[in-house]
Amino acid sequence: MIKDDEFIRNDGVPITKEEIRALSLSKLNLIHSDIVIDIGCGSGGMTIEMAKIAKKAYAMDNSEDAINTTKANLEKFNIRNCELISGDAKEELEKVLKKLKESNESNELNALPSENLKIFIGGTQNIEEILKIANKYSIKTIVSNTIVVNTGLKIAEILENYGYEIDLINMNVSYGRKIKSGYMMIARNPITIITAKK
């Protein structure tokens, strides 16, 4: 895992912390033949970790600051198998999935099994529409992170209604800070990680 302080950062652009990235990657269970889509890429922390494993990555965000920060990090870590997309996630996701589906149908010998197409959601804007599109294209593995507990429960409920098996984790990470008498633990905001599989 890449250390958080190795990434190029931009004020106001979030990054998924190292420990959360590690667990999220574990839940995605990526292999080298996978194609993965990062929705709400932020600073590109998850994008880069996923692209290091997967055959191809797509990263999308509607924030120009996020796109620029992710681009800078892709260049820093010499990631060449990622397509960066600026725009509304629900529209761009539909375009990417449609393109991949048409590409598979036109070349049966190199068709991508649906199990090898996975989605990570780091931003939850328009989440209902995004999940609807993912289900429409029969995405087998979806992992979503959220800081808002109610949003996590909403995502789990929607995906459960689509027939996914749900795994729900709330992760609290604390970091040790050296003080005179020893160490004190500084807590970060808890993150809910939703894993949905068919």
Residue 113: predicted pLDDT: 63
167 is in an annotated binding site: no
61 is in an annotated binding site: yes
82 is in an annotated binding site: no
Are 165 and 198 in contact by the 8 Å Cβ rule? The answer is yes
Calculate the alpha carbon distances from 58 to 30, 155, 168 in Å: 14, 21, 25
List, for residues 166-176, the tens digit of each pLDDT value. 999 999 999 99
Task: Indicate the residue type of 48.
Answer: I
Residue 171: predicted pLDDT: 93
List the chain residues with pLDDT less than 70.
105-114
16 is in an annotated binding site: yes
List, for residues 94-118, the tens digit of each pLDDT value. 999 999 888 776 554 455 666 789 9
4 is in an annotated binding site: no
Q: What distance in Å separates the CA atoms of residue 155 and residue 145, rounded to the nearest whole number?
A: 10
Domain boundaries, the chain: 4-197
Task: Indicate the residue type of 101.
Answer: K
43 is in an annotated binding site: yes
Q: Which CATH number fits domain 4-197: 3.40.50.1100, 3.40.50.150, 3.30.70.360, 3.40.710.10?
A: 3.40.50.150
Residue 161: predicted pLDDT: 98
DSSP summary character for residue 111 = P
